[in-house]
Structure 1
Amino acid sequence: MLDNLKISGKLFIGFGVVLVLLAVVSVFNITNAGKISKQIDYVKDVKYREALDTIDAIDRASKILSTVVHASESATIAPLEEARESRVPLEKAFATLEKSLPVGSEVARQFVVFRGLFGSCFEIGERMTGYSVNQELIEFVGARREYQEKFEQLEKTAVELKDVVSLDLYEALEEINRVSERNVNWSSYLALIGMVLGITLSLMIAKSISTPMSRLVEVIGALGRGELDSRVGIKRSDEIGRVALAMDDMAEKLGQMVHRIRSSSIEFTGVSKAISDAADSVGNSAKLQEQGVESTSAAILEIGASINSVAQNVDSLNISAADSTSSTLEMASSIEEVAENSQQLAQAVAEISSSITEMATATNQIASNTEILKKTSDSTASTVAEMDVNIKQVEEHARETAKTTAEVR
């Protein structure tokens, strides 16, 4: 899934997940902080107030009973009246406190018992005071014994009530501590989960970026070493995928360009060889023509020499014919010389004819070589034109390669 996302999208997801987890941790802490604050307010406003009111009620009840005992011991009514007046607001406080206590709780049950014992002790104290004022000692002693038993129960109940109230307050405080610890633990767990997810996403994002980048570096190095068949082969829709696709396309075009350059080089080598062969043929034809010219010149010189000899013989013949005194033998000799010269002339003419034939052959060969040279020149011109087109294609591919390289950069 990450391979098809842009790098910005991957970073957004990574940071988004971390921020969401941080937001969850913050909301969780805020919510629990609100709960803890409410519990603290509840403990301060309710539990702590109940404990103070309960302890205050116990102390006030003890003081009232002490006043009643003092009245019975002093055999006076005034302290009893004072105790009765103090009992009225205390009973109201008892009623209010009893309503505020949770129904069915241990504190409420102990408070009801304490309130009943307080009423019994107060009633016994009133009777004790009456017996004391009326000097009824036997009844006073019995009432005092009964009062002591009830008062001991009252004190025991008061201690238990104080313990229950203190325990209830302590449990409320412990609940606050448990909530606080649970809040800290869950915050730690969420923070740890956020760290693990953040590290995991970071590693996944880093791997999705570093692995293809390493492959790109390897392919670029292979292309630099001349391995033009190397390809990245990464099919992704993010920026790295587009870079890999551009790199593969550039490598493909570079291979095609090198192939065309190699083909053009081979064609150019063939054309160069053909031109070299044609030049060698032209050189050979020139050598043959030079040899024919030399042979013709030699034959012409021989013809000239023969003609001079014939002219000399003719002159001698004319002189011999004009000179009638020459002998027949001399004439015959001259005729033989003329015959020999004529034979030499015929040989010279034959040699000239042969030289002319060789010149004609050499001329034909030169014409043929000229035609071949013309065809070779035409082929060379065509090859040069093709090379020009190939060079233009190479330049165009070079520009495309430069453009692709610029895009890769």
Structure 2
Amino acid sequence: MATDIKHTAHAVEAAAVMGLLPARPRMLALGEPTHGEDALLGLRNELFRQLVEQEGYRTIAIESDCVAGLVVDDYVTSGTGTLDEVMEHGFSHGWGAFAGNRELVRWMRAHNDGRPASERLRFAGFDGPLEFTGAASPRQALTALHGYLAAHVDPDLLPCTRETLDRLLGADGRWTDPAAMMDPAHSVGQSAEARELRLLADDLVVLLDAQTPHLVTAASRDDFDRARLYGRTATGLLRYHHWMADTSPARMTRLCAQRDLMMAHNLLAVAERGPALVHAHNGHLQRNKSTTRMWEGPVEWWGAGTLVSARLGEEYAFVATALGTLPHQGVDTPPPDTVEGLLYALPEDRHVVDSRRLAAALGDMRPAPRVSPWFGYSPLDPAHLADIDGLVFVKDVPRRWSPQK
């Protein structure tokens, strides 16, 4: 058994990952089982460099605010701002504080310096402007979309003025009240103003679509693509706020589904640019339905990976990451009857595994699901092996990691 499993394992390199796939995918999704570990971010960075240099990849998308990510993209493509400013303002969820993300942005900027636009690397956040504690006001996205249209189309075609939007939006604090996540009564998402804003946002997006032939020539293609992003974000946020005000038993299911739907729409837009590496939690990128348990009970929904895979087919590939130990979080050596335990017995510190060959090597053996003592780490579900294109295994994740110079 150990010999059969060893034959499925290879060094974690772009060539080994591509060797598992029938063709170069338009979207290669690299999942992680926990957030905030710079060792895993460093591995992601190394793989992205190889994909750029060997496979012609030009974009990386990570699980961060899509609107804030424009700040990062401006920096890596044209040097706008400083690295410190970008790390502070270009990421959500606190991701800008991690050394692995800083090293990624620094390297992308250095790589792009002096290159023509067609060869520059691009950065994208693909999450909505959402945190677990709540959601952003739709003001930034809605007014940016309105401003773009006001500058390029006949004003008579606009469904409203900027002043009307400001009046309906009111104070941003109404939208960002953290109490709304636990108590729908604190949400303004189903107020009369919010309902009117949803209609206006829809009208603005329809106008953007209807004016596409004119808009793609009236300004740059990047400006048009950003306007599309603002439209997706404004309508998505307004839907999210609507469901925050919901009082039905399906409330959390709808919120989780809406977040991943926003992710999927952003990923499909990223895929239009050409081959991209995507990095996020395994649960967002997997092909299987997502499940979790919250204070309101069990929740099940179709995640971003399932939605994008359904659209892109074989042009979407999912490589999950699993790990052996995370000692600083109390995650010790995996039991030998788990997938992680079987891989932990191999001598290499990290490797990429042909998950389907691994499933075949296991035969009738049914590995036990690993149970994590720490809520922040999600072990691999052995039942998902056949739906994964590849598996990256990291034996031991240290507390500290030093980026390559």
Fold match, TM over 0.5? no
**Bigger proportion of residues as strand:** 2
**Bigger proportion of residues as helix:** 1
TM bucket (normalised to shorter chain) is under 0.3
Structure-2-length-normalised TM-score: 0.15
Question: Bigger radius of gyration, 1 or 2?
Answer: 1
Structure-1-length-normalised TM-score: 0.15
Q: Which has the higher contact order (CA 8 A, sep 6+)?
A: 2
